[in-house]
Amino acid sequence: MGDEVSREGRGLVQNTVLNIIGQAVPLLVAVFSLPYTIHGLGPDRFGILSIAWVLVGYFSLFDLGLGRATTKFVAEAKIRGEDERISKIVWTSLVTQAILGVVVGAAFAIATPILAGRILKTSPQFLTEMRGVLYLLSGSIPVIVCARNLRGVLEAAQRFDLVNVVRVPSGMLTFLIPMAGAFMHLRVTTIVLFLILLVGATAVVYLAFGFRVFPAIAKAPSIDRAMVRPLIVFGGWVTVSNFLVPVLIYLDRFLIGVLVSVAALTYYTAPYEVASRLLIFPAALSTTLFPAFSALSALGRGDLVRLYIRSLKYIVLGLGPMAFVGVLFGRDLLRAWLGNDFAVKGGLVFQILSFGMLLNALSQIPANLLDSIGRPDMRAKVFLSYVLVYAGLLWFLISRFGIVGAALAWTLRGALECLLFLATAAKLLRIGPATFAGDGLLRGVIVYSGFALAASASRFLSGQGVVQGGMTLLCLLLFALCGWKYALDDRERTSFSLAAVRLRNRG
C-alpha cells in the first residue's frame, strides 16, 4: 500500500519535481515569446488576447470544484480497488460539468455585447474582434472545465508523469501559438480559436490517458445520480475557497492604490512577484499531496498523519532557507535586479514578504489535508473567519505605514492562517504535540533555527561582498548536511536518493 499512495520521499520528490517542471517550462517560453507577440499584435490586439488569457484562467472556477472532488473520490476508490465506482465518478462528474458549462457559457454569451461594448473599453475598430473573442470563449467553457476534470483523474492515480507530458507542451503552445499568429498577422479571433482547439486536444489526450490508467472508464461508462450530490456539495465548498483566495491575495494591491497611490504599487508589486516565486515548490508539492492524502484517508489515520507531518518538515527544509535568504538579502537582490531606487523603496517589503511566503507555504499542507479528509467546508470557514479582520488590518497598516504596512499585514495574515489551519487539522485528526515532534519535524525546525541564527550572524559580522556571500553559502551547505543527517531518517534518505537517480535517468 505504501508504494501505491507514494507516501514516502521517492514518490513525493519525483512527482513534485515533475510538477515544478510543468510550471517552469511554459513560464520560460512565455518570457521568450511575449516581446514578439506584443510587438506583432500591437497594444490593442494584445490587450484583447490578454483578456482572453485572464478569462480562460478564471473559467476554471466554473468547474465549481468538481475537478478537485473528482480527484479525491477517484483516489479513494482506487485505493479500495473499486474500478466500477471510478467509472461512475468520472462520467457523472463529466456530464455534470458539461451541463453546468453549457449554462454558464450561454449566460456569458448573452452578456457579451454589454461586456464588449460598455464594460471593457475597446477601441471601435477592434470592437468586432473583441466580441468574436468573447463569443468563442463562451462556447469553450464546457471544454475548459471538462479538461480540468480529466486532468484530475490522472492526478488521482498520481500519474503526474502523464499529466506533465500534456501540461508542458500545451503550456508552451499557449504562448507559441499567439507568437506565430502575430508573425502571420492573424486576427485575434483566429488566434483564440486555435487556443481553444488546443484546450480541446488537451482534453482528448487526458481522456485517452485516463482510459489507459483506468480501463473501466472506457469499458463501463455509466452515470450514478447518487454521486451528483456529494460531488456538488464537496465542490461547492471548494468553490467558496476558490473565490475567497483571489480576494485575499489581491486586496492589498487594491487598497494600496486607494490609500497610497497607483505609483506606489510598482514598488510593492515587483518585490511581491519575486517573493511569490518561492511558492512554486509548495504549490507543486500540494498538487502531489492531495491525491496521496485522499487515498490514505480511505485507509485510516496512521499513515495519513505520518505523511502530513513529514510534508510540513519538507516545507521547512526545502523552502525555509530560500525564504530566509530573502529576509537577509532582500535589499541586495532588488538592487541587483531593479536598481537602487527599488532597493530603497521596496527592499523592506521584499524582506517581510519572504517570511510571509514561508508561512503561506506551510498553511497549504493542512489546507490540502482538510480537503482530502472530506472537510472542504473547514478550509472555506477558515478563510471566512478572518477575511474581514484582514481587510481592517490592511486598511489600518497601509494608512499608517504605506506599502511596508501592506507587507506586514500580508505576513500577519499568513501567520494567522497557518495557525488556524494547523489547529483545525490537529483537532479533526486528534494530533497532539508529541505527534508534531515525531517524524523529524521537531529536529527539522531545530536545524532550521540553527541555520537562521548562523546566517544572521554571518550577515552582520562578515562585512560586505564576496566574504558575506561565501559565509552564507557555507551556512546553507552546513544546513543541508545537518538536515540530511538529523532531520531525515534512513528510509527517507534512501527514498530521496532513489528518486534522484530515477529523475536523473529519466532526464
**Position 184, amino acid:** M
Residue 409: C-alpha distances to residues 31, 249, 402 (Å): 31, 12, 11
Cβ atoms of 163 and 215 closer than 8 Å: no
Task: Provide CB contacts within 8 A for 367, sequence distance 6+.
Answer: 286, 379, 382, 421
Helix ranges (DSSP H) in 222-301: 225-259, 262-276, 280-297
Same domain, 385 and 308: yes
pLDDT (0 to 100) of residue 465: 62
**Position 75, amino acid:** A
pLDDT (0 to 100) of residue 8: 46
Cβ atoms of 158 and 6 closer than 8 Å: yes
Q: What SS3 class is residue 95?
A: helix
Same domain, 418 and 447: no
Q: Is residue 183 part of a domain?
A: yes
Same domain, 368 and 420: yes
pLDDT (0 to 100) of residue 409: 95
pLDDT (0 to 100) of residue 7: 44
Same domain, 132 and 78: yes
Which pTM does this prediction carry?
0.81
Q: Is residue 2 part of a domain?
A: no
Q: Which of 162, 193, 223 is the last residue of a domain?
A: 223
Q: Is residue 228 part of a domain?
A: no
Rg (CA), the chain: 24
Same domain, 424 and 440: no
Q: Is residue 444 part of a domain?
A: yes
Task: Provide CB contacts within 8 A for 340, sequence distance 6+.
Answer: none
Angle between helices 376-429 and 225-259 (to 10 degrees): 100
Number of domains the chain is built from = 3
CB-count burial class (<10 Å; 0-12, 13-18, 19+) for 121:
exposed
Q: Which of 182, 198, 223 is the last residue of a domain?
A: 223
Angle between helices 280-297 and 9-59 (to 10 degrees): 110
Same domain, 174 and 195: yes
Report CA torsion sign: 133, 136, 137, 138. Answer: positive
Same domain, 201 and 142: yes
Give the domain range for residue 476. 433-506
Q: Is residue 28 part of a domain?
A: yes
Same domain, 371 and 255: yes
Residue with cell 455585447: 113
Cβ atoms of 206 and 150 closer than 8 Å: yes
Q: Which three cell numbers stand for residue 284?
A: 507543486
Residues 373 and 287: their CA atoms lie apart, in Å, by 15
Task: Provide CB contacts within 8 A for 89, sequence distance 6+.
Answer: 70, 73, 74, 77, 224, 227, 231
Same domain, 461 and 397: no
Residues 398 and 441: their CA atoms lie apart, in Å, by 36
Residues lower than pLDDT 50 in the chain: 1-9
**Position 196, amino acid:** I
Same domain, 255 and 369: yes
Q: Is residue 1 part of a domain?
A: no
Long-range contacts (CB closer than 8 Å, 24 or more residues apart) made by 304-307 = 304/369, 304/372, 304/373, 304/429, 305/429, 305/431, 305/435, 306/7, 306/439, 307/7
pLDDT (0 to 100) of residue 33: 84
Q: Is residue 142 part of a domain?
A: yes
Same domain, 466 and 345: no
Cβ atoms of 173 and 229 closer than 8 Å: no
Taking alpha carbons only, the member of 158, 142, 291, 147 closest to residue 206 is 147
Q: What is the largest CA-CA distance in the chain?
A: 69
Same domain, 242 and 135: no
Q: Which of 408, 429, 450 is the last residue of a domain?
A: 429
